[in-house]
Amino acid sequence: MGKIIQLDDNLSNLIAAGEVVENMASVVKELVENAIDANAQTVRIDLLEAGLNEIKVTDDGDGMGKDDMKMALRRHATSKIRTAQDLFHISSLGFRGEALPSIASVSHLEMISSEGDTGYRVFFLKGELQEEGEYGPKKGTTITVRYLFYNTPARLKHLKATTTELSYIVDYVNKIALSHPDIGFTLTNDGRTLFRTSGDDDYRKVLANIYSVDIIKNMVPFAGENQYFKISGYLAKPQITRSTRQHVTVIANQRMIRNNKVINAVVEGYRTYLPIGKYPVVFVNIELDPLLIDVNVHPQKLEVKFTEERMLLSLITRTILDTLRGLDLIPQIERVKPAEETKYQQLNLRPDADEQSLVKEDFVNYLNDLVDKKKQREASDDTAGEIHKQGDPLIVPATPKLPRLEYIGQFMGTYLIAQNDEGLFLIDQHAAAERIRYEHYRQAFGAVAIERQKLLIPITLDLSNAEVLRLADQLDRFEPLGVVATVNDHNGIDILEVPSWFPSGYELIYAEEIARYVLEGRDVRVTDIRDDLAKNLSCKHSIKANKYINHKEIERLLSDLSGCDNPYTCPHGRPVIIHFTVSEIEKMFHRIQS
């Protein structure tokens, strides 16, 4: 007997399922895309237990007859292509003919469909037809997938937590709705509606179902074109950032795609506008000739390749950059109405500024109170406020680690020049201020135990619906850090309690840091959170480069720097101070021989 055999259809389908059917979201993707290709105007996705028990996709599309329904469950059976030439002009979402038979091989699959006159029902088990018969004549198709992976326990074992798997489905539906704003989508899980669009062809309305009102208010349209490509979409202003690239959504010819070069081009457009490690919220819609895109490079049709790719990337970066340059990016501070003053008085905030602006202005005073046990609320000019308030030192004095320095000047508003008997010193004033503040904040954060206090008014985290689902079953990870959170009735996350050592008005910053750790899959530890928060705040509140400060302020800065545990580098590792010895300077001027 020969060593090589022909695999039977059932085994072939199981192998194909390993490529096409990764999880519940991949099943939803294949079924929804079939509905779209069938010219559906509404698509409804109903899940039980995030799709593990049941996935039902109902559409009002063209429907199928009895023979086509049976043929659709055979391998490589498709209505999307006829010849090899069609592969170069693909306009449909699905075309391989592998999805339905692959799904049927690892589930109980029921299909009900009608072209408008007589309906028909088929039921498949392990990819084999078990039942069939006539059904109601409602036009469209309903496919129900039950007990996914029931016969492949290894695949079942590697599924993530239910809420995580559900978040993948929500993220997919968000993006497919953006690619087809003219179709109405509804997504439910265990009877609860998670997502719904009207199908009135308005991108902004779809975006409003994905992101918060604050983000939508800060999104602006952009558009550009060249001889090969036409792009359009919406971008969020730079003050709206995320810690991952997940919120850069790219659509090409109404197909949701994954292309890292395109995402990099989007990020490059923001290059001088975003902090390091932060990413924008952007929706990009690309229109092009089907000949210029190859969608047949990935089993799930997510990854694509573009012809004339450089021209596309250049167009994206240039268009986004030009759009940002044309915007007024100064944050708008809204005055609080008199009726709202009570809320801010309860939070110990002034009613004439929002909470975020107060972070920059008052947090330094609070931390001085915490460490030094004294009030320092007196006014100071803007420059002095950026370094520290006059009075008690920012950090607890320690044995000086720097020699005594005599300040003699400032170079380019950035570098302080000092001298002593050992030579000349250059100090980066921003890096020095960062180091001082970092050690001050770190000491303040670590000086108190975690005791919680309830908020009079819960604070809602600014998250997308998919992020909320990913965090929903991990909120217990917040509690060891002194934060109690819950999912509210509007599919958001409310902060109910915070550490007692944190001041009113700054709870959101702390909670957002914890949420970022959890979303990135990192260990959530008190020391790490406090250290990162200290680094972030030290950078935000430190004196910047190209700003001239007076002699008294500089002397205080050098004194505080000398008391730091590590006065040599900023919290990010950049050097704070550089020393030129007398002999090195004299060598440069040839006063002594090398």
Phi (first) and psi of residue 184, to 5 degrees: -85, 125
pLDDT, residue 396, reads 44
Closest CA to 55 of 147, 122, 138: 147
Cβ neighbourhood burial of 437 (10 Å; 0-12, 13-18, 19+) = buried
Domains within the chain, CATH numbers bracketed: 9-199 (3.30.565.10), 211-325 (3.30.230.10), 358-579 (3.30.1540.20)
Per-residue pLDDT of 384-393, as tens digits, reads 334 343 333 4
Q: Which residue has the higher pLDDT, 369 or 147?
A: 147
What is the model's pLDDT at position 9?
59
Contacts for 516 with CB less than 8 Å, ≥ 6 apart:
243
Angle at the Cα of 100 from the Cα atoms of 5 and 296, rounded to 5 degrees? 80
**Looking at the predicted structure, is the pLDDT value of residue 49 above 80?**
yes
Closest CA relative to residue 250, chosen from 238, 241, 258, 242: 258
Q: Which pLDDT score is estimated for 370?
A: 40
For residues 121-150, average pLDDT: 91
Tell me the C-alpha distance between 464 and 459, whole Å: 15
Contact 177, 206 (CB under 8 A): yes
Task: Please give the pLDDT value at position 547.
Answer: 63
Q: Which range among 251-265, 328-342, 362-376 has the greatest average pLDDT?
A: 251-265
- Across 16-25, 93-102, 230-239, the highest mean pLDDT is recorded for 230-239
Residue tagged 């004549």 (tokens): 137
pLDDT computed for residue 154 by the predictor: 79
Check residues 269 and 293 and name the one with the higher pLDDT. 269
Asked if pLDDT for residue 332 goes beyond 60, the answer is no
Any idea which of 147-161, 250-264, 305-319 has the lowest mean pLDDT? 147-161
Please give the residue that has the higher pLDDT: either 512 or 194.
194
Confidence of residue 194 (pLDDT cuts 50, 70, 90): very high
- So what's the pLDDT on residue 404? 85
What the block records as the tokens of 498 is 């915070």
Radius of gyration (C-alpha) of the chain in whole angstroms: 30
- Predicted local confidence at residue 250, as pLDDT: 95
Report residue 182's pLDDT band, with 50, 70 and 90 as the boundaries.
very high
In angstroms, rounded to a whole number, what is the distance separating the alpha carbons of residues 250 and 528? 34
Is 426 buried (19+), middle (13-18) or exposed (0-12) by CB count in 10 A?
middle
Q: Lowest mean pLDDT of 1-10, 97-106, 198-207, 481-490, name the range.
A: 1-10
Write down the pLDDT at residue 518: 82
What share of the chain in percent tops pLDDT 90?
30
Angle (nearest 5°) at CA 281 between 318 and 27: 115
> Which of 81-90, 337-346, 501-510, 537-546 tops mean pLDDT?
501-510
Candidates 206, 149, 155, 140; CA nearest to 177 is 206
Average pLDDT, the chain: 78
Q: Which two tokens stand for residue 580?
A: 């030129």
3-state secondary structure of 427: strand
- Region 343-361: mean pLDDT is 36
CA distance 292 to 295: 10
Q: Indicate the range of 56-60, 171-175, 208-212, 380-384 predicted with least confidence.
A: 380-384
| pLDDT confidence of residue 75 | 62
pLDDT score, position 367: 39
| Amino acid type, 552 | K
Q: What percent of the chain has pLDDT over 70?
A: 72
- The type of residue at 590 is H
Predicted pLDDT of residue 451: 78
**567 token code pair:** 């006065």
Instruction: Say which residues have a Cβ less than 8 Å from residue 359's Cβ, sequence separation at least 6.
Output: 505, 506, 509, 540
Which pLDDT band holds residue 414 (cuts at 50, 70, 90)? confident
**33 pLDDT higher than 50:** yes
Distance from C-alpha of 472 to C-alpha of 494, rounded to nearest angstrom: 11
* Angstrom distance (rounded) from CA 365 to CA 11: 69
Residue 225 has pLDDT above 90, yes or no: yes
477: pLDDT confidence band, cut at 50, 70 and 90? Answer: confident
Reported as a pLDDT band with limits 50, 70 and 90, residue 334 is very low
Contacts of 263 by beta carbon, 8 Å cutoff, 6+ apart: 245, 248, 250
Is the predicted pLDDT of residue 186 greater than 90, yes or no? Answer: yes
Average pLDDT over residues 263-276: 83
Q: Which residues pair with 129 in a beta bridge?
A: 124
DSSP H or E run through 107: none
Phi–psi pair at 331, nearest 5 degrees: -60, 140
